[in-house]
């Protein structure tokens, strides 16, 4: 385990185990996720570098990724990553990596434990906006998220149904 400090957050991170897990996660092959993997490095290289250097995360290995369409062929993404390790603080608040907001969340449920054991935390990104520039047609209803396969699908489905299908 290595100690990582960002703003008021202090983490003990197992980079090797985090890297192994992020590489083994199923990668969604839908056009929105393909676009995310294709364009993130060009528009947000600081995210990729920070996730890899500090936590051992392969940015392609999201635990879940939801997105919304915006105007002018832009998509806003909300990826979540798994990190194996511990933090000494009550996990609340956020910090910035470049232009993106990062929040740290406590893992909940047996699904997380199946992937990362009992020690870990979730890294959630927001403010990730990328142009859609694939030749594959994309249709996402505005303000309706696409929730990808991953450990958060059940929770995300419940939240989606509660918010949008009352």
pLDDT in tens, 125-166: 888 999 988 887 776 555 444 444 444 444 455 544 554 454
Structural domain that includes position 147: 2-164
Query: Which of 12-16, 89-93, 161-165 is least confident?
Result: 161-165
Number of domains in the chain: 1
Measured torsion, CA atoms of residues 84, 14, 60, 146, in degrees rounded to the nearest 10: 10
Mean pLDDT of the chain: 76
Question: 142 exposed, middle or buried (CB, 10 Å; 0-12, 13-18, 19+)?
Answer: exposed
> pTM here?
0.74
Task: Tell me the three state secondary structure of residue 11.
Answer: strand
Place of tokens 């995360």: 57
| 20-40 per-position pLDDT tens digit | 888 877 777 888 888 998 999
């Amino acid at each position: 385990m290595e100690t990582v400090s960002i703003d008021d957050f202090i983490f003990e991170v197992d980079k090797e185990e985090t890297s192994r897990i992020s590489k083994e996660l199923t990668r969604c092959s839908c056009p929105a996720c393909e676009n995310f993997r294709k364009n993130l490095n060009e528009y947000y290289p600081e995210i990729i570098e920070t996730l890899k250097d500090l936590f051992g995360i392969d940015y392609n290995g999201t635990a879940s990724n939801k997105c919304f369409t915006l105007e002018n062929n832009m998509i806003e993404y909300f990826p979540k990553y798994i990190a194996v390790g511990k933090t000494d603080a009550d996990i609340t608040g956020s910090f910035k990596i470049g232009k993106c907001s990062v929040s740290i969340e406590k893992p909940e449920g047996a699904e997380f434990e199946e992937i990362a054991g009992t020690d870990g935390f979730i890294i959630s990104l927001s403010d990730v906006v990328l142009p859609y520039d694939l030749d594959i047609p994309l249709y996402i209803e505005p303000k309706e998220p696409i929730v990808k396969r991953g450990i958060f699908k059940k929770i995300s489905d419940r939240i989606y149904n509660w918010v949008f299908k009352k």
